[in-house]
Structure 1
Amino acid sequence: MTRPLILADLDDSLFQTAPKCGDWPEADLRLMSRLADGTPSGYATPPQQALLGWLAHGELVPVTARARDVLARVDIAQAPAICANGGCILLADGTPDPVWHARLAAEAQASEAPAALYPALTHGLGPEYRHWMVSEDGLDLYLVIKSNTGDVPALTALAEALRDRLPQGWRIHANGNNLAFLPPWLSKRAAVRYMLEQVRAETPGRLVLGIGDSWSDAGFLDLCDMAMIPTQAQLWQHIAHGHEWIDA
């Protein structure tokens, strides 16, 4: 029997920063990722460690906003993978899919370039914010703004203030201390659809399971046979809010 294909978001799905790990003792946590300077940054709780063990029975493919160099600092399967919010698809040998890259580069010509939009979105931001542009193989993909103090309400307010500066079709993804601005041609959904077209042509009956926590993950979860959502996640909290079958 063909192993299930598991398309999984990483941060806040399979692991998270230490403050988000709740009351678990540090000794019970598994280090999953590091910052560029080697500092530990992401941890899996015991339930997440059990989940990772269960997922090992299938083929785990990361579907992440992390760029390739940032994914490389995660203790998880590196290829195949979907990186940079769908901006790069890594083949099984770890090389970027040239067909997908060429398709995105062509589609990008019909939209305002991220580099052209960058100054308008970051003008006037003080030292309480850091920001950068994510690119892969010479193609600018999307913009990121984060609060240096972790002030999520301020970041949410900033997102609303900047909304009118976006060209038509651009989208905002806000989740915790992460604010991203994506052009209309970039999404996890588009990259997953492209990958699944090939998977289902080769193995039509293969089970595809999706795992994700945020609004942006909903698009690719919808393409899978089944979806798994952490119950503390942004996406699940939206589903559960005001639900008549969930009591206090």
Structure 2
Amino acid sequence: MRGGIFASDLDRTLIYSETAISQLEAISSKSATVVEYKNNKALSVMSDRAIKLLQQIRNTLLFVPITTRTRQQFERIEFPFSHRYAVVANGAQILYNGQPLLNWEESIKREVYDKSGTKEKLLNHLIPFKIEGRLREADGWFFYYVLMETLPDCQLAEIRLTAEGLGWRISLQGRKLYFIPNAISKGRALQYIAENEGAQYLFGAGDSLLDYDFLKICDESFVPAHGELAQHLKKSSHWLTKEKGMLATEEFLTKILQTVTNPFDRRERSDLQQKIQPIQL
């Protein structure tokens, strides 16, 4: 299936931190390889089986990592293979051969300025919620809190409405609560790459609400059952994996490999997935 793309989120989709593994309590039966270090400390791993599956998939599809990580955070990851494109900062930046596409960044900056309230204005509106956590910025594109305690669902819903009123959206990933301008979108970045490459078929995988932007434009999408996004999909959704944790990663990579090597299987699966899976917020 030449001319296709496999776009995937990273954290809790392809790679897992020690914290994520302990929370999910679902570890691959096979060994894993460290793919991220910081200050000589291992941060994230990927199962060896998943690495082999992805290497095989890359023989046919263009692999595009898509992440909410900043460029610096992304560059800590040591993939055992090269990749032409990468989408970082949730779509604010597109890297091509490791360098940012400046025209893309400028267009995003203009739209954020035109369509979203400033970070300072949003922070003022968040004061009544008394969010307990460390505030961090992502290269000036967006910000997030590293929460000290879990927020009640009702409060999270109110925070979401407040952000939406100013042209922002939120996503809770583990202890991190992200606030991102609407113009910054993984889906738009993937669409740009697909058009540049003339891609005929798109596969996608992601675990968070922020991944929904690009999953909904893919021909076939996969959501790990442990993810934030899984909570907003119907249990009957064809997007959901049966497994959790690293086993979920191996599950959807196996399905993608089977699909790219069997065109008949691709047609049958596409018929199942062709409708956009609605989510409930």
Match of 2:11 in 1: 11
**What's the TM-score, normalizing by structure 1?**
0.78
Q: Do the aligned residues in 2 keep the contact of 1:71 with 1:78 (CA within 8 Å)?
A: no
Residue number in structure 2 paired with 1:80: 85
Aligned 8 A contact 1:213 1:230 in 2? yes
Moved more, 60-69 or 208-217: 208-217
| Shift in Å, 1:29 | 2.0
Pairing 1:167-178 to 2, within 5 Å after superposition = 167-178=165-176
Partners of 1:175 and 1:18 in 2: CA distance: 15
2:112 to 108, 113, 120: 108
Distance 1:220 1:29, change over 3 A: same
Letter in 2 for 1:114: K
Whole-angstrom distance in 2 between the partners of 1:244 and 1:10: 22
What residue in structure 2 maps to residue 224 of structure 1? 218
| CA distance in 1: counterparts of 2:3 and 2:36, whole angstroms | 26
Q: Which residue of 2 aligns with 1:141?
A: 141
- Aligned equivalents of 2:134 and 2:93: distance in 1? 24
**In the alignment, which residue of structure 2 is the partner of 1:67?**
70
Give, in whole Å, the separation in 2 of the partners of 1:68 and 1:103: 18
Conservation of the 8 A alpha-carbon contact between 1:90 and 1:97: yes
Quote how far apart the aligned CAs of 1:130 are.
1.7
**CA distance, structure 1, for counterparts of residue 160 and residue 223 of structure 2:** 28
**Residues 191, 23 of structure 1: alpha-carbon distance in 2 compared, 3 angstrom cutoff:** closer
User: Pick from 183, 208, 224: which aligns with 2:202?
Assistant: 208
**1:52 lines up with 2:50 in the alignment:** no
Task: Please say if 1:236 is aligned against 2:242.
Answer: no
In 1, the alpha carbon distance for the partners of 2:101 and 2:194 equals 14
Q: Within 5 Å, give how 1:89-128 maps onto structure 2.
A: 89-91=94-96, 93-110=97-114, 111-118=116-123, 121=126
* Root mean square deviation, CA, Å: 3.2
Cα distance change, pair 132–226 in 1 and its aligned pair in 2 (3 A): same
Larger RCO, structures 1/2 (Cα 8 Å, 6+ apart)? 2
Unaligned runs of 5+ in 2: 241-281
Residue 157 of structure 1 and its aligned partner are, at CA, apart by 6.4
Identity %: 24
Distance 2:237 2:196 in 1: 40
**What SS does structure 2 have at the residue aligned with 1:109?**
helix
Q: Is the 8 A contact 2:90 2:184 kept in 1?
A: yes
Q: SS of the residue aligned with 1:154?
A: coil
Tell me the secondary structure at the aligned position of residue 43 of structure 2.
strand
Report whether the alignment pairs 1:28 with 2:31.
yes
1:48 deviates by: 2.9
Distance 1:158 1:38 in 2: 38
Give the aligned residue type for 2:9.
D
**Pair 98,231 (structure 1): closer, same or farther in 2 beyond 3 Å:** same
Matched-pair contact (CA < 8 Å) for 2:66–2:88:
yes
Residue correspondences, number? 232
1:244: how far off? 10
The 3-state SS of whatever aligns with 1:131 is strand
Post-superposition offset of 1:191: 1.4
In 2, distance between residues paired with 1:80 and 1:155? 38
CA gap of 1:27–1:184, structure 2 versus 1, over 3 A, is closer
- Give the distance between the partners of 1:89 and 1:56, measured in 2 at CA: 19
Q: CA deviation at 1:142?
A: 0.9
Determine the structure 2 residue equivalent to 1:43.
45
Partner Cα separation in structure 2 for residue 185 and residue 25 of structure 1 = 37
